[in-house]
């Protein structure tokens, strides 16, 4: 693979060149060749069900639901703190 262009991201390079990522150490890497092995590109593609997300990351649908609920609570809490400031 040729050198990544400066001031860009690896996932934009993979998307632009339509090549799968081989950098397994990347925190966005996951085993899905249809998404070029990139969670960012998979998320950008379309919406997914909780089951599909769980399958991608090797988690259950219920665990994804718990993570989603926890994140929503954190966002709500942060929003309330911002209103106080």
pLDDT of residue 43: 79
Please tell me the distance from the alpha carbon of residue 37 to that of residue 6, in angstroms, as a whole number. Answer: 21
Compute the average pLDDT of residues 68-74.
94
Q: Above 90 in pLDDT, residue 67?
A: yes
pLDDT of residue 5: 59
- HSE on the CB side for 64, CA within 13 Å? 14
Delimit the domains of the chain by residue range: 1-45, 47-85
Distances (CA, A) of 56 to 12, 17, 24, 28, 69: 20, 23, 15, 12, 19
Q: Above 90 in pLDDT, residue 8?
A: no
């Amino acid at each position: 693979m040729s050198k990544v262009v400066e001031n860009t991201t690896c996932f934009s390079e993979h998307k632009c060149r339509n090549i799968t990522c081989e950098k397994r150490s990347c925190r966005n890497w996951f085993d899905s060749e249809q998404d070029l092995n990139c969670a960012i590109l998979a998320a950008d593609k379309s919406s997914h069900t909780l089951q599909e997300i769980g399958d991608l990351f090797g988690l259950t649908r219920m665990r994804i639901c718990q993570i989603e609920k926890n994140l929503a609570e954190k966002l709500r809490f942060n929003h309330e703190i911002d209103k106080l400031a």
